[in-house]
Amino acid sequence: MTSTTFDFAQWPPSLTDVQINALTQHATTYALSHGLTYLPPGATQPPSPSSTIHAPISLLPSPIPRSLFEQAQRLQSSYNILYAQVAMDDDFLDNVMGAVVGVGKADEFVGTLWRGWKAIRDEEIVQPLHLGLFRSDYLLHTGEGDGRISLKQVEFNTISSSFGPLSEKTAAMHRYLNALTNYFGVSPYFKSENFPPNDTTARLAEGLAEAHKAYGVPGAYILFVVQPNERNVFDQRWLEYELLEKHSIRVVRQTFEELATSAALDPDTRVLRLTVSPALSPLGSLSTLEVSTVYFRAGYVPSDYPTPTHYTTRFTLERSRAINCPTIPLQLAGGKKIQEFLTHPGVVERFMRDADVQSIGTATKDLRETWMSMWSLDDPDPPVVPSDYPLQRTMDEPRGTTAARALADSLVLKPQREGGGNNVYKQDIPPFLETLPAQDREAWIAMQLILPPQGLGSYLVRAGATSDPNGGNKVVRSETVSELGIFGWALFSRETGVRERGDAGWLVRTKGVESNEGGVAAGFSVLDSVVLVDG
């Protein structure tokens, strides 16, 4: 928590139309020149793209108090260790996320993943190592009532933590604009020392390279499991190029549908091998490649598994000797129900004690200070409501559901989903609860809303129609909310313990206040970066 003399309502500084047009031209040209790009919209994308558009971006970086930015960076190591410990606790995951007694009973997607993982455990797991490329997301919170601003966690991502490379390029773009124009002198904060470095691409590639090294076969490939017709392909390609250029590790990209026919396990060793076409083969002919590491940029939403074959393919990868990023238990550990359960008394303390973390009291206190109140809809005793507080209940519904209805204006409801567009907010909560089947309540959590600084704004730039006389770029000045993500990685097993890196770079996504959701790929946000301010 920090007190700050910075006035968020005065951001962004005023710019003239001439200045906005100049910055837009410099920013979009830089983005296109440096691979800060998307594939253009379309029903399908060709195997060999012939055009790109710049990613959605902000013209100015967003202000974040220096002390809170540094706090978020310090916390990442503790979060890496915490979620690694959760992923290695089979009994805990069975109880919270399982299909027998946990969330998997109410959520078919979670239940199917859990059942597949349980079957693999019963057979025998041949690769004990897990790799996590993580991102912890935060908002600034002004709800303390004393003018102080604190850092509050939105969620912790354990699968497909995207936009690392493009966030690095966005930060570089803002440094370039500052160096070129000094942003026309409109703010004293536009100094080089207030633009923190961001080397996310190298740090995330480092985590993948460490897993490849642990596998022990230098000539093996890293497999990127990707979605078909992926528009955010360049964010992934920059990791691929870093792995080849800095670590001499090759990458092969496949969808679940392609893997259904290309992937096979050695019946004795469970080595994962792919039969790939000449276009993907380094030999220019039909080849079989051994896989050291499986990096999932798909598989986090039910739509990634349209048929049972897609789940079977996921389980084949999990059964293999390749190191999965993430494993199914690590993906389950990122569920919203886990986030809520960790807030229960003694839970996070137990995991940090099991990890033999020094200064457990300090570590757990620092983590807990970033959490809002959360509870399950089937909770009999939600933490924000005193036990003697009268609630108008509907039939025999749980007190947690009644509390969510009564306090709806200050809440968000979250399912066990990633990727944006899944949550229910404020006034939409009561009618949603009326239609939610009782057996599905366990799959949802209620979370008190984080209250960002009001009046903060930005200039948001999205690529538009190429026939637009202004060059196809739409610039909107909007009141905004900015979300800070901190990256980290961990390579771990019960036998080796946890090796992790907490300082793996950062991301800022900015959206208009009228949008509840925050996903860039889902179309809600733009890529942004940080200018450090007082505090």
Reading the block at residue 474, the tokens are: 């739409």
The pLDDT of residue 467 is: 39
What's the distance, Cα to Cα, between the start and end of the chain in Å? 9
| DSSP single-letter state for residue 450 | P
Query: Which residues have a catalytic role annotated?
Result: 135, 155, 157, 162, 336, 414, 418-419, 509
| DSSP single-letter state for residue 306 | -
Cα 167 from Cα 485, distance rounded (Å): 10
H or E element in which residue 117 lies = helix 108-123
The pLDDT of residue 471 is: 53
Q: Which residues are annotated as a binding site for Mg(2+)?
A: 155, 157, 418
pLDDT tens column, 217-228:
999 999 999 999
Residue ranges of domains in the chain, CATH in brackets: 8-346+348-353+452-533 (no CATH), 373-448 (3.30.1490.50)
Q: Which residues are annotated as a binding site for ATP?
A: 155, 336, 414-423, 425, 447-450, 483, 511, 517
The pLDDT of residue 465 is: 42
Is 317 strand, coil or helix? helix
Judging by beta carbons within 10 Å of its beta carbon (0-12, 13-18, 19+), is residue 279 exposed, middle or buried? Answer: exposed
DSSP per-residue string spanning 223-246: EEE--TT-S-HHHHHHHHHHHHHH
Q: Which residues are annotated as a binding site for substrate?
A: 135, 159-162, 230-232, 236, 297-300, 509, 520-521
The pLDDT of residue 469 is: 45
The pLDDT of residue 419 is: 67
471: left (phi over 0), alpha (psi -120 to 50) or beta: left
Are 331 and 113 in contact by the 8 Å Cβ rule? The answer is yes
Reading the block at residue 397, the tokens are: 């519904």
The pLDDT of residue 137 is: 97
Per the confidence metrics, is the pTM higher than 0.75? yes
Collect the ranges in the chain with pLDDT lower than 50: 465-470, 518, 521-523
H or E element in which residue 166 lies = helix 164-181
DSSP per-residue string spanning 261-299: HHEEE-TTT--EEEEE-TTT-TTSS-EEEEEEEEEESS-
